[in-house]
Structure 1
C-alpha cells in the first residue's frame, strides 16, 4: 500500500472516498465465477471490438464533485463453476456530469462485480475490486482521457441530461500525480475496457437501441449470424 492511499485511511473527505485498501476483498475464484457468461443482450457482445475500433480518445476536464451524479443499476448473470450454477449480482455504474468543453452531458461507464481486480499486497488470497473506487478516482482527477464511440458521438439523441453520452475511462491525467499505483488505480487495461464495452452493449443498451445504432453494421460484418 503506497503512502498516498495510506494517508487517506482515516476518512473519505478529501480524496479517493472509501479507501481502496479497505474495500471489501473478493477472493479471485469468487470474482471470476460470473464472468464466463455476460447475460443480458448477449447477441450484442460480438460487436465490442468494432465499437472500440470506431471510438476516439477525448480529454475531459472533471467538474466539482457536487456537479457529478452517480447512477447505479444492478443486474444478474449466471455461470457454471465446478458443475454448479451460480447467480452473481453486478452493478452497472454511470458517473454523469455536464461537460462545458463538449457542451453535452457525459457518463463514465463502469461495472462493479469483480471485472477489474488487483491482488492484495498483504494477503495474496484476496483481490480488490478497483471499480468500487472509480467514482472517487473520477472525483479526484482534474482531467481524464476517455474513449467515445463515433456513432453515439454524432447521434443527436445522446448528450442530454436524460441520455448522457457514454464514455469509457482510460487514464487519470492530472490531480493524482502522487499516487504510485498508476496501473491499479489510474489506468484501465485494454482487456478490462473490452469487458466493460461487452457489458455495456449487453446491459447498458436496450436491444432495440443497439439494433438502431449498430444493426446494419452487425449485418455488414456478419456478426449476427
Structure 2
C-alpha cells in the first residue's frame, strides 16, 4: 500500500472546491441499520485517480461503494458512501513488521454488525424530491457508530470517520460520482455566489 504524499483528483475537478461548503451545509442524522442484512444493497463503481505516491507519479484504481437501504424512520432510501483505495487506513503491527489496512474494505461487514450510527447528509440533497428513492438514494457519509455488540471488540478504528477522511470522501463523491449536470443543477448557483465558478 502506498502512502500518499500528494494527490490529484480526476473527474469533475470543478466540483472539488465546493467540498468544504458541501460539508458545512450538511446535518447529522441518526440512522438505524435494517435487522435483515439482505435489505442492504450495494452499488459500486471503479475509476482511476492519479497522484504522487512515494515521490513517483502513478495512477491507480479506486472503488466507490454505496450501501443503501430503506429507512422507515426517515421515510427515504439512504446510501452510505465510501471509497476503497487506501483513503482511510490504519497502521498494523510493530517494529519492522508494519503494514497498513484499508478500513473501508470491511465497512459493509461493520454495518451488518452495528445497530445504529450517525451520518452527515447534505441539506440540499436531503430536501430535493428527486433523492430518497430506491433508484436514487440520499447519499450519506458515515460519522460514528452509536451502538454495537460487545463481540465487535477490537474494531474501534471503524467506529468513527475522521473529518479529514470525510472531506476526502466528499471530494471523491463530488468529482467522480455526482454527474457534472447534476452538480450544476444542485450547486451551480451557490458556486457562482461563492466565486468558485468561472
Contact 2:4–2:52 (CA under 8 A) maintained in structure 1: no
Name the structure 2 match of 1:162. Answer: 135
Name the structure 2 match of 1:131. Answer: 104
Contact 2:92–2:100 (CA under 8 A) maintained in structure 1: yes
- The alignment covers a number of residue pairs equal to 196
Name the structure 1 match of 2:22. Answer: 51
Instruction: Measure, in 1, the Cα distance between the counterparts of 2:58 and 2:114.
Output: 37
Instruction: Measure, in 1, the Cα distance between the counterparts of 2:149 and 2:191.
Output: 40
Aligned CA RMSD, in angstroms, stands at 1.7
> Is the partner of 2:187 in helix, strand or coil?
helix
Instruction: Measure, in 1, the Cα distance between the counterparts of 2:144 and 2:155.
Output: 9
Unaligned runs of 5+ in 2: none
Deviations 1:141-199 (A, max 9, x none): 10010011000011000000110000000011112455455651111000000110011
- Going from structure 1 to structure 2, the CA distance change for 1:188 and 1:81 (only over 3 Å counts) comes to closer
Name the structure 2 match of 1:121. Answer: 93
> What is the deviation of 1:31?
4.2
Contact 2:4–2:54 (CA under 8 A) maintained in structure 1: no
Does the alignment pair 1:90 with 2:58? no
Aligned with residue 40 of structure 2, among 68, 71, 75: 68
Instruction: Measure, in 1, the Cα distance between the counterparts of 2:53 and 2:131.
Output: 39
Aligned with residue 123 of structure 2, among 131, 136, 150: 150
Instruction: Measure, in 2, the Cα distance between the counterparts of 1:128 and 1:83.
Output: 21
The worse-fitting range, judged by mean Cα deviation, of 148-157 and 178-187 is 178-187
Contact 2:89–2:103 (CA under 8 A) maintained in structure 1: yes
Unaligned runs of 5+ in 1: 1-25
Aligned with residue 7 of structure 2, among 19, 31, 36: 36
Instruction: Measure, in 1, the Cα distance between the counterparts of 2:111 and 2:22.
Output: 23
- Going from structure 1 to structure 2, the CA distance change for 1:42 and 1:178 (only over 3 Å counts) comes to same
Instruction: Measure, in 1, the Cα distance between the counterparts of 2:55 and 2:164.
Output: 27
Name the structure 1 match of 2:174. Answer: 201
Does the alignment pair 1:104 with 2:64? no
Does the alignment pair 1:187 with 2:160? yes
The worse-fitting range, judged by mean Cα deviation, of 78-87 and 190-199 is 78-87
The worse-fitting range, judged by mean Cα deviation, of 50-59 and 78-87 is 78-87
